[in-house]
Amino acid sequence: MSLSAATRPGAGVVVPTAALLGSVFVLGLTLGWTFLSMRTVMDVGGACADGGPYVSAQPCPDGSWVIGLAIPVMLLSAFLGSFAAARLSAPNLLIPMWLVLFGSLGWNFLKYGLGEPGNAGFVVCGVVFELMALPALVVIGIGLRACLRTADGARSPVLTWALAYPLVGAAGALVGVVTFHTMA
């Protein structure tokens, strides 16, 4: 007697696990693209435009267009990955995405605002973005703390995901940096 795919132990977790890890990788990739494409615009003063009836005196640098692709793909990946995570009782991807997106963009604003020649508007934006990232950090901290305090002392499976997400996301971000530099 052979077991069908539906009756084999673990058969229902392979596809959601692959979808979740793939989504985490794509999130890292698109976060890398967003971070770097923002920097290309910040390098020319924070504003640029190409074409149209009101042509800007500052054309957009190479690579700035990537943000227009990165953000929608990032959001789609976070939603699809969160759907897969729910099937696996894993943490959703929306909260970590929020933390890394606003934290990294806030970092860019602060770096350019506090650097030479400095820009108070960028500093204000940086502080606002970091404050926007803070609730996600708090929620993640509360979730991890709850996982460490299990009633029976058993290790929570959420901790496995808490290790996998940063590792897979970092691999995606590394690929994002490499591919950004080839596209820009």
Split at pLDDT 50, 70, 90, the class of 175 is: very high
Split at pLDDT 50, 70, 90, the class of 1 is: very low
Q: How far is CA 177 from CA 1, 8, 103, 171, in A?
A: 50, 40, 17, 10
Q: How far is CA 174 from the centre of its chain?
A: 12
Domain assignments of the chain as residue spans, ordered by start: 20-183
Over residues 77-132, the pLDDT tens digits come to 999 999 999 999 899 999 999 999 999 999 999 999 998 878 899 999 999 999 99
Q: Is the pLDDT of residue 148 over 80?
A: no
What percentage of the chain reaches a pLDDT higher than 90?
Answer: 63
What pLDDT, on a 0 to 100 scale, did the predictor assign at position 78? 97
